[in-house]
Amino acid sequence: MDYEPSESKVRCLLIRIPLVALIATACHVAGCGTLGPASVQRDRTDYGTVIATTWKEQTLLNIVKLRYGDAPVYLEVSSVISSSAMESQVSLGANWFSGLPIDGNSQSIGASGRYTDRPTISYTPLSGERFSRYLLQPLSPAAVFSLVQAGYPVDRVLQLTTRAINGVYNRSTSPARARAADPRFYQLLEALRRIQRSESLGMRINQRMSDESVLVIVTRDVSEKVENDRHAVREILHLRPDTSELKLTFGMVQRDDTEIALLTRSMSEIFLELAATIEAPPLHMQEGRANPAPAAPDPASPWDAPLVRIHSSAERPADAYAAVHYRDYWFWIDDRDMKSKSEFLFILVLFSLAETGVAPQAPVITVPAN
């Protein structure tokens, strides 16, 4: 017996299929949720990673430029505004004719979606007064000892940030100030490092005037070896043996035996020190395109090794902590060189610490929520 579907049943069949597709398509396009929380999880990590990476690369590039006598350029990412929007649209249409066969009927279904991401990133060039504060102004002696108080190794902090302590000079590799270190300076660093590791020396900094702080030394009973180191430190720096409060000032020489005069470096000086020990390509050295390498000290000391080893190669390095391309060469820090990596990270911390005064207020921007 032949079965011929009625017109009403055919219509029900034709309508049911588009409706199922309509619901599935709408849920797929709209995501059956909101875009906001997911974008925070994605964007915060991605933007943070990229900003940190480019910060390292910009600092490394400017150090390399100083070796070649080029002007450094600093751009800060002052704001990142990400505005995202998702739009979806679903349409359904059907036409039926009065008679059979069903070939005369027509249906249509359509869906469309659009995703828009318009990030607004603002860059602020470092110039004028802010350039002077960041790069040309020497670090504050109180800020230097605050790093020691916070737990940073005292020998690394003083070797990197100071030119002299109470007239005892550090080594300099920059072309303008090239000189060997006073042997007592390295003795001072070694004694201070042993004292810090013994955890027998505590300190706090009290601000007294705008240009003077008081370094309060807190001591306890120590072993004979540590006591000898403490005596050696006071002897090298010509400090009174019985005082526990020392004035902390910026200067070349001390005014009396209760003062620590710290001749600190600026960030520009620190960058020049690092630039002088870059392993520049021999061809550039022969052609006079880069400043010559500093002479090796005699006698040599482990303290005279480069603070950060920056290599160069014609090919892009496969395993680099930070790498920049400059004058057809790659300059990079090896990711397996933990000493150079930690020192470079410390320099980035110092760069942030060099900012003084009132921070400029960022403009208030209203972004519509989509």
DSSP codes of every residue in 222-282: --HHHHHHHHHHHHHTT--TT-SEEEEEESSS-SSTTEEEEEEPPHHHHHHHHHHT----H
Flag whether 120 is in a domain. Answer: no
CB 286 within 8 A of CB 275: no
User: What value does the mean pLDDT take over residues 69-92?
Assistant: 74
Flag whether 348 is in a domain. Answer: yes
User: What value does the mean pLDDT take over residues 67-85?
Assistant: 81
The total number of structural domains in the chain stands at 1
Flag whether 327 is in a domain. Answer: yes
Instruction: Indicate left, alpha or beta for 357 from its phi (over 0: left) and psi (-120 to 50: alpha).
Output: left
Indicate the SS3 state at residue 107. Answer: strand
User: What value does the mean pLDDT take over residues 266-286?
Assistant: 93
Burial of 271 (0-12, 13-18, 19+ CB in 10 A): buried
Flag whether 99 is in a domain. Answer: no
Flag whether 226 is in a domain. Answer: yes
pLDDT of residue 106: 62
Residue 276 to residue 154: CA distance in whole angstroms = 23
pLDDT of residue 242: 80
What range defines the domain where residue 246 resides?
129-353
- Name the residue type at position 55: W
Flag whether 150 is in a domain. Answer: yes
Strands 106-125 and 75-95: antiparallel
Give the E-state strand segments of 155-211 in sequence order.
162-165, 168-169, 201-209
179-220: per-residue pLDDT in tens?
899 989 999 999 999 988 887 767 777 776 656 677 777 666
Flag whether 104 is in a domain. Answer: no
The pTM for the full model equals 0.75
What is the crossing angle of helices 267-276 and 36-67, to 10°? 70
Least confident of 103-117, 134-148, 274-288, 303-317: 103-117
Flag whether 29 is in a domain. Answer: no
pLDDT of residue 212: 66
Max Cα–Cα distance, the chain, nearest Å: 121
